[in-house]
């Protein structure tokens, strides 16, 4: 019995040694509080990823089917600050947008926003109103890719990410693609922030 009590005491002491840290979104999203984590050592917190509802974060009901992830990169006191890590639209929601006799057009590309040390891998999908011919689908795909690449050349990382998450980038693509063939919707269904090729090469040399 004495051993059991001692063991329980150690567990309680270990829990008491842990502290709560408030986690905040990046500055371009208003540094909003997105959650809390517990840790016994602040040095173990950087690198952790927190995922939240994008709709709740930006107060947009149309984005409730999207989850956004943020990676902690700095701890100061009891505050943990993050950088954008990625987002993904619910797969079941994406499947529901594919209607009978319509065409789904996908493309995945990696871009490096203006002046950024990080790249973003983006998956974009267009949903047509009716069946599109192969040549039309190819032109829509090429137009979406060009629109994203051109925008990345003009926007820094925060501006690019904000436009992507809030639907502004999707609207740009919709406007230039609809003259090609009737498009019902265009969405950036997934993204991930990745290290640049130069950074990855430097890391391998170490």
Q: Quote the Cα angle for 149-136-111, to 5°.
A: 15
| Residues in the chain with pLDDT values less than 70 | 1-17, 196-206
pLDDT for the residue 196:
52
pLDDT for the residue 4:
42
pLDDT for the residue 104:
97
pLDDT for the residue 204:
45
pLDDT for the residue 10:
53
Type and span of the H or E element at 192: strand 183-195
pLDDT for the residue 45:
95
Residues 181 and 66: their CA atoms lie apart, in Å, by 27
Structure tokens that stand for 190 in this block: 């997934």
Task: Find all residues with CB under 8 Å of 199, minimum gap 6, and list them.
Answer: 117
Coil/strand/helix, residue 23: strand
pLDDT for the residue 18:
84
Q: In this structure, what are the phi and psi dihedrals at residue 149, rounded to the nearest 5 degrees?
A: -65, -40
Architecture per CATH, 90-202: 2-Layer Sandwich (3.30)
Instruction: Give domain limits for the chain.
Output: 2-88, 90-202
Phi-psi domain of 101 (left: phi exceeds 0; alpha: psi -120 through 50; beta: other): left
């Amino acid at each position: 019995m004495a051993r059991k009590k001692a063991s329980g005491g150690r567990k309680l002491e270990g829990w008491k040694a842990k502290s709560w840290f408030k986690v905040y979104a990046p500055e371009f999203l208003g540094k909003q509080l997105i959650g809390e984590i517990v840790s016994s050592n602040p040095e173990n917190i950087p690198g952790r990823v927190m995922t939240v509802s994008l709709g709740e974060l930006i107060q947009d009901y149309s984005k409730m089917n999207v989850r956004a992830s943020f990676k902690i990169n700095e701890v100061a006191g009891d505050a943990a600050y993050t950088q954008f890590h990625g987002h993904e639209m619910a797969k079941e929601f994406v499947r529901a947008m594919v209607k009978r006799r319509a065409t789904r057009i996908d493309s995945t590309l990696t871009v490096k926003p203006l002046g950024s040390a990080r790249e973003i891998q983006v998956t974009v999908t267009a949903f047509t109103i009716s069946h599109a011919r192969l040549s039309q689908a190819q032109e829509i795909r090429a137009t979406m890719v060009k629109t994203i690449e051109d925008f990345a050349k003009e926007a820094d990382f925060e501006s690019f990410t904000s436009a992507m998450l809030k639907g502004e980038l999707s609207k740009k693509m919709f406007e230039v693609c609809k003259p090609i063939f009737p498009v019902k919707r265009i969405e950036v269904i997934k993204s991930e922030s990745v290290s640049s090729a130069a950074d990855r090469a430097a890391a391998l040399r170490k």
